Amino acid sequence: MDSVREKELKVKKRNISKEVFEKGDLVRLHQPSDKTRQVWSNEIYEIERVYKPKKSYTVYEYKVDGLKDRFKEEELLKVVGDPQNKIQKFQKFVISKLVKPVIKDNKEYYEVQWKGYREATLEPRDVLLEDPKMVNLYEKKNKIAFYDSKKKKTNKITRRIYNGNKSDE
């Protein structure tokens, strides 16, 4: 009787899929292309989460960092060692809104609210002017202008903001 049960357990074990990848493994995605022979992605992704099968006839699924989809074992290729052509992904921050202009140490800054973040940060105006559309629109809408002011007694030049009818320091 025990040998029959052992055989049954062995058969069940064969039907259960195996966890091929672990959390933290580096993988490439399967991306066949008609234009090139390349089948795997240039980008290297890290496995963020492993989903165990809920039923014996389903397979493990893997979520990779930066993508919403889940992938099966055959859609992933494990990267072993240090890859030669690893493409670095830079996290891009998107401005939600410009809160207000600020002068700090005689330099122009904007208090910036970022999409997906609660805290606002101070960012130099010249850095924000690398993509000038939002800054120019904000300055035009709120009638903001930066100018130098010279104190008569000390001849010290300070940077100031003209904000419509208001004057801030």
Report pLDDT digits (tens) over 127-147: 888 888 888 888 888 888 888
Spatial separation of the C-alpha atoms in residues 12 and 109, rounded to whole Å: 65
CATH of domain 2-78: 2.30.30.140
Confidence of residue 15 (pLDDT cuts 50, 70, 90): very low
| pLDDT value, residue 1 | 59
> What pTM does this model have?
0.47
Q: Where are the domains of the chain?
A: 2-78, 95-168
- CA 104 from centroid of its chain's CA atoms: 29
Count of beta carbons in the 10 Å neighbourhood of residue 144: 20
List the CATH code of the domain at 95-168. 2.40.50
Q: Is residue 124 within a helix (H) or strand (E), and if so which, with residue range?
A: strand 120-124
Higher pLDDT, 110 or 157: 110
Helix, strand, coil abundance in the chain, percent, nearest 5: 20, 35, 45
